[in-house]
């Protein structure tokens, strides 16, 4: 593939440098202690086990699907286990993408993966599914079903029933309606749309059809 980033040694060094930068950021361990108390500290609890809103704990539940809990199971063993596992997966995916796709697309992956791996780790596995959606349709659906409590919102006898979980998600200032989350939601949404468009445009067929539709009638008559 002529557009592969591995066609020149310079770009190979660049990708290695990107992963080393991620590793350095992980080693510096400069993360929010409140977030860590939720993401890692509560990982041993059963899914949907937390339902009381506590004043000094802004996260009162984890409203994702059971698939999210499964894929993020390394967080049970703490910060280093989760980040080490995900950085390894991220590196393998980056190598795969760099050997298959253009530099522009790989750069977009680098940008998004930097953010989700280091600033929004709870969304990283969801982003990986979105990226894989360019290859296989089901991953785009799985990304949505993993982000939302759809597979299924199972509970363990606590008051965090499926209905209570969805109500929490639509409370003002919480979950979906929290302005603090809109940046990462926007990045997830834009990356999902990008993967969808790239999937639709395999072999350029979609854009060719769209261009024919948008052409003026006189242009078509001249052909």
Give me the count of residues in the chain: 223
Residue-wise pLDDT tens digits, 154-179: 555 455 666 767 777 777 766 677 77
pLDDT for the residue numbered 48 = 67
- The structure's pTM equals 0.80
Note the pLDDT of residue 173: 66
Phi-psi label, residue 54: left if phi above 0, alpha if psi -120 to 50, beta otherwise:
beta
Please state, in angstroms and as integers, the Cα–Cα distance from residue 100 to each residue in 15, 36, 94, 134, 219, following that order: 14, 35, 10, 12, 36
CA distance 153 to 61: 12
- What single-letter DSSP state applies at residue 60? -
pLDDT of residue 220: 45
Residue 54: beta bridge partners?
A: 57
Listed in sequence order, the residues at least 6 apart from 110 whose beta carbon sits closer than 8 Å to its beta carbon are: 15, 18, 94
d(CA 35, CA 42): 10
Which of 21, 6, 203, 191 has the alpha carbon at shortest distance from 96?
Answer: 6
What's the pLDDT score for residue 2?
41
CA distance 77 to 36: 12
Contact 9, 41 (CB under 8 A): no
Distance CA(49)–CA(42), nearest Å, equals 10
Question: What are residue 57's DSSP bridge partners?
Answer: 54
**Pair 175, 184: CB distance under 8 Å:** no
Residue 93: its pLDDT value, please? 95
Q: Residue 61 gets which letter from DSSP?
A: -
**Dihedral sign (CA 172, 34, 159, 49):** positive
H/E element, 147: helix 137-147
Spans of the chain below 70 pLDDT: 1-7, 48-61, 151-162, 164, 173-175, 203-223
Reduced to 3 states (helix: H, G, I; strand: E, B; else coil), residue 57 is: strand
């Amino acid at each position: 593939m002529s557009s592969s980033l591995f066609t020149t040694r310079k770009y190979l060094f660049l990708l290695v440098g990107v992963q080393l930068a991620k590793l350095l950021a992980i080693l510096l361990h400069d993360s929010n202690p409140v977030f860590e108390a939720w993401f890692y500290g509560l990982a041993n609890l059963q899914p949907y086990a937390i339902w009381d809103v506590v004043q000094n704990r802004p996260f009162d539940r984890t409203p994702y699907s059971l698939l999210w809990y499964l894929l993020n199971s390394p967080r049970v063993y703490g910060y280093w286990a989760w980040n080490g596992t995900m950085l390894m997966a991220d590196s393998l995916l980056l190598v795969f993408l760099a050997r298959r796709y253009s530099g522009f697309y790989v750069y977009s992956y680098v940008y998004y993966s930097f953010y989700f791996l280091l600033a929004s780790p709870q969304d990283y596995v969801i982003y990986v599914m979105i990226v894989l959606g360019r290859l296989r349709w089901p991953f785009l659906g799985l990304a949505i079903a993993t982000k939302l409590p759809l597979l299924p919102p199972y509970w363990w006898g606590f008051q965090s029933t499926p209905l209570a979980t969805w109500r929490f998600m639509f409370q003002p200032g919480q979950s979906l309606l929290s302005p603090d989350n809109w940046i990462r939601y926007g990045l997830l949404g834009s990356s999902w749309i990008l993967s969808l468009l790239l999937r639709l445009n395999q072999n350029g067929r979609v854009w060719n059809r769209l261009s024919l539709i948008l052409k003026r009638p006189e242009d078509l008559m001249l052909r």
